Amino acid sequence: MKHIISLLMENEAGALSRVAGLFSARAYNIESLTVAPTEDATLSRMTIVTSGSDEVIEQIIKQLNKLVDVVKVLDLNDGRHIERELMLVKVKATGALREDMKRISDIFRGRIIDVADGSYTIELTGSGSKLDAFLEALDKSVILETVRTGASGIGRGDRILKV
């Protein structure tokens, strides 16, 4: 099952490679991994999307906690949470496609952020599955380029991950 794991770690050189190395050394899946400093510049917040049986997820959480640089780990799937991902898609926009692309972008609440003679660049945020759905709604031949950030997640309401 897919899990979104959030963690806070010391914002130090090499910290990211410790997490990435742990996943490869123990043969855990990484679907996506995002990281950036928090409002406290000494801390980085990381969101890892992974999948595995309950036993594997339990081990992942324990192994992450064991890393000396990791301050806190939270499995967002243990409670209600919100997931958001940003995607930029460059699509063909010639002739009739210009109107089609605009319309489909509107349906998914995307924004066209760059316009060129033959293409649009559409910005879209949402859950991973919404972004997947958008790509599926497009004909493959019109997609020129996609870039996704990987998911960021946060707990709903009072669930707070903070030092």
Partner 1 sequence: MDDSNQHKTGQISGAEIIMRCLHEENVKFVFGYPGGAVLHIYDALFKQNKFKHILVRHEQAAVHAADAYARATGEVGVALVTSGPGATNAVTGIATAYMDSIPMVVISGQVPTAAIGMDAFQEVDMVGVTRPCVKHNFLIKDVRDIASTIKKAFYIASSGRPGPVVVDIPKDITADLADFDYPKTVEMRSYTPVIKGHSGQIKKAVKILLEAKRPMIYTGGGLVLGDASNELVKLAKALGYPVTNTLMGLGGYPATDKQYVGMLGMHGTYEANNAMQECDVLLAVGARFDDRVIGNPDHFLSVPRTIIHIDVDPSSISKRVRVDVPIVGHVQSVLSEMNELLAAETKKPDANAMKAWWSKIDGWRSIKSASYEQSSSIIKPQYVIEKLWEVTKGDAYITSDVGQHQMWAAQYYKFDKPRRWINSGGLGTMGVGLPYAMGCQLADPKAQVACVTGEGSIQMNIQELSTCKQFHLPIKVILLNNRYLGMVRQWQEFFYENRYSESYMDSLPDFVKLAESYGHVGMNIEKPGDVEGALQDAFAMKDKFVFMNFMTDQKENVFPMVPNGKGLSEMILGTDPNKDAAAPAMEG
Q: Is 156 an interacting residue with respect to partner 1 (CB under 8 A)?
A: no
Quick one: CA dihedral 61, 63, 66, 68, positive or negative?
negative
Which of 69/123 has CB closer to partner 1?
Answer: 69
d(CA 28, CA 49) in angstroms, rounded, equals: 11
Taking the complex as a whole, the smallest distance from the CB of residue 17 to partner 1 amounts, in Å, to: 7
Q: Is 118 an interacting residue with respect to partner 1 (CB under 8 A)?
A: no
Binding segment for partner 1 among 5-13, 74-82, 105-113, 125-133 (CB under 8 A)? 5-13
Q: Tell me the H-state helices in the chain.
A: 15-25, 54-66, 96-107, 128-137
Residues 57-96 that bind partner 1 (CB under 8 A): 58-59, 62-63, 65-66, 68-71
Token pair of 84, please? 């958001």
Contact 71, 8 (CB under 8 A): yes
Q: Is 40 an interacting residue with respect to partner 1 (CB under 8 A)?
A: no
d(CA 136, CA 161) in angstroms, rounded, equals: 34
Write out the residues near partner 1 by the rule CB under 8 A: 9-10, 13-14, 17-18, 21, 25, 55, 58-59, 62-63, 65-66, 68-71, 163
